[in-house]
Amino acid sequence: MLNVQNITFTYTKKSADTPVLNNLNFSVNTGEHVSIIGESGSGKSTLLKVIYGEYDLNEGNIFWNDIEILGPKYNLVVGYDFMKYVAQEFDLMPFITVEENIGKHLSNFFPKEKKERVQELLEVVELEDFAKTKVKTLSGGQKQRVALARALAKQPEIILLDEPFSHIDNFHKQSLRRSVFNYLKEKNIACIVATHDSEDVLAYADRMIVLHDSKIIANKSPQELYKSPEMPLTASFFDEFNLINDQIIYAHQLQRVDKSDLKVKVYRNYFKGHYYLIEGHTDDDIIFFENKSKLEINQEIYLEVAP
């Protein structure tokens, strides 16, 4: 289990600076999948690096079971066997092949096991066809997948992933995400995933932590937070929403009725695949709702919150 206890961190150690992370507390259980979300610059990457022991804390402690994770001041070699970290910028060896990169830290004393292990990981990241390709010729997304496989090669107990699919194109993202996250669950590897993509979170995370203003403003299951986002920031991560009488109402919660207190004039239609998102205007507000088909501009519609 990972225990993050009262940690505070600033990049420069001047006391006047506002901390990037201010007194954070949370834990991650064995095999648990935790997502870290928050706006750009909210400290997601910093938090992962701090957990990995890349920086010294101003205050607080981090433990994996009874091992304390220490920064460079107390620990010359950054990193532990039980923990792996895949950064947004990956440092692969460009002039050797994909399979050589993945197997780089695996022992050569057991060539058969090594080969099988590399093959298994090539399948997890869906790069079987590129085993013999030199890394320097790969695309950004392919390199990201090699970095993932390499981090998993010696099975860690916990893995920290910083926007792990940010370079992957939409053609491969869904299936790769399923493959990697299901693999981690099967092997009972805990993971902390910094992401700005709700698809990384909804179907996979056991818990999500929302960072804002250097603090944790929510730490709950995706189901709970989706249902009661509490803050517009959290709602905006999931879906299009409205603030109606200070209540967060998702666009899909509004339905058309014959008559109601909420009358809008259709202003614009946005094609979304199996539905249209409709922008409607009241006298002084913009309201988003969903409809199966396109609506005529300037048509007047009555809406209410579906029971």
Tell me whether residue 38 or residue 280 sits nearer to ligand ADP (CB atom): 38
Q: At what angle do helices 170-186 and 140-153 cross, to 10 degrees?
A: 10
10 binding Mg ion? (CB under 5 A): no
19 binding ligand ADP? (CB under 6 A): no
Binding residue for ligand ADP, selected from 7, 28, 42, 222, defined by CB under 6 A: 42
Show Cβ contacts of residue 66 under 8 Å, excluding neighbours closer than 6 positions.
none
Binding residue for ligand ADP, selected from 41, 79, 94, 140, defined by CB under 6 A: 41
**Which one of the spans 36-44, 227-235, 252-260, 269-277 is the region binding ligand ADP (CB under 6 A)?**
36-44
**β-pair partners for 64:** 2, 67
**Which one of the spans 24-32, 45-53, 199-207, 243-251 is the region binding Mg ion (CB under 5 A)?**
45-53
195 binding Mg ion? (CB under 5 A): no
CB-CB contact of 141 with 174 (8 Å): no
> Phi, psi at residue 180, to the nearest 5°?
-70, -50
40 makes contact, choosing from ligand ADP, Mg ion, none, with CB < 5 to 8 Å by partner type, with ligand ADP
35 binding ligand ADP? (CB under 6 A): no
The tokens of 150 are what?
Answer: 């390499």
CB-CB contact of 188 with 199 (8 Å): no
46 binding Mg ion? (CB under 5 A): no
53 makes contact, choosing from Mg ion, ligand ADP, none, with CB < 5 to 8 Å by partner type, with none
Binding residue for ligand ADP, selected from 6, 11, 17, 169, defined by CB under 6 A: 11
53 binding ligand ADP? (CB under 6 A): no
- Nearest residue to Mg ion on Cβ basis: 45
38 makes contact, choosing from ligand ADP, Mg ion, none, with CB < 5 to 8 Å by partner type, with ligand ADP
Q: Which residues bind ligand ADP (CB under 6 A)?
A: 11, 20, 38, 40-46
